[in-house]
Amino acid sequence: MDAFATDAVEPLLEGRFGRPLRFVPRTESTQDLLRPDDPEGAVAATDEQTAGRGRQGRRWIAPRGRAILCSVLLRPPPGRRLPELSLVAGVAVADAIEEALGLSAQIKWPNDVLVNRKKVAGILAEARGDAVVLGIGVNVNQAREELPADTRPPAASLLTIDGVERDREPILARILARLEHHYDLWREGGLDAIYVDLGSRDFLRGRRVSVDGVSGTAARIDREGRLVIDVDGAERAIESGEVTYDA
């Protein structure tokens, strides 16, 4: 697999996201490569992370050169809810994956992007003062045996889904273009402004779920980015947590 080529991304950039695009061949985590004085839309990317982070203190593991591993610096308006940004990014990543694969992608609240019920991408939003570092990991060219085993949802890559090996650069450029588009809409109008693209991809809707001791049927992701669960006819809105669900 060729090393990631930033030269191949730059001509494909459509807006302000991806400028600058900082690439290092190997790093602990791209989440730590962006600086407080970087402009909004600055991106750090790598071919290999030695201490990649996932949500809930988990590790994010991908073999060198197979995945998109990047972080984007955002400066949302004060007072906006961080979890909403994971969903904004989820929509952007789902758009880019759908374009690459020609298959529909779903969003599993709060931060997973799934294709055929398998996780192909994850998003991690970390606050840095007033800024947010949005980490995006997309499994692109991993073979089945290179993916983490026994995860729920099970992991997949674009390669394991349709057998096609892809250049990562155009997919990253497309993620950045879609992220900028949906982020700008969200800045102006909140999740309402992107709700058609979010609600229609809600993987959990209608499934039996449990989050932090609350069990019921997932009703929807609401306009504040919470998961609404119907518990015997009464609705409970969950702010954050780890969802288990019936297949």
Q: Give the residues lining the site for ligand BTN (CB under 6 A).
A: 29-31, 49, 52-55, 58, 60, 69-71, 111-112, 122-124, 135-137
C-alpha distances in Å from residue 58, one per residue of 54, 61, 151: 5, 10, 12
Cβ of residue 106: shortest distance to ligand BTN, in angstroms?
A: 14
C-beta closer to ligand BTN: residue 121 or 219: 121
C-beta closer to ligand BTN: residue 31 or 160: 31
C-beta closer to ligand BTN: residue 107 or 191: 107
Q: Which of 148, 128, 127, 125 is nearest to 136 (CA)?
A: 125
* Residue whose beta carbon is closest to ligand BTN: 122
Do the beta carbons of residue 108 and residue 243 sit within 8 Å? yes
Cβ of residue 245: shortest distance to ligand BTN, in angstroms?
A: 16
C-beta closer to ligand BTN: residue 81 or 223: 81
Cβ of residue 29: shortest distance to ligand BTN, in angstroms?
A: 3
Torsion angle of the four alpha carbons 116, 221, 184, 80, in this order, in degrees rounded to the nearest 10: -140
C-beta closer to ligand BTN: residue 110 or 216: 110
- Relative to beta strand 131-139, strand 67-74 is antiparallel
Element (H, E) at 175: helix 169-189
Cβ of residue 66: shortest distance to ligand BTN, in angstroms?
A: 12
C-beta closer to ligand BTN: residue 41 or 216: 41
Element (H, E) at 7: helix 6-9
Cβ of residue 237: shortest distance to ligand BTN, in angstroms?
A: 22
Cβ of residue 246: shortest distance to ligand BTN, in angstroms?
A: 21
| Dihedral sign of CA atoms 235, 236, 238, 241 in order | negative
- Encoded tokens for 58: 């988990």
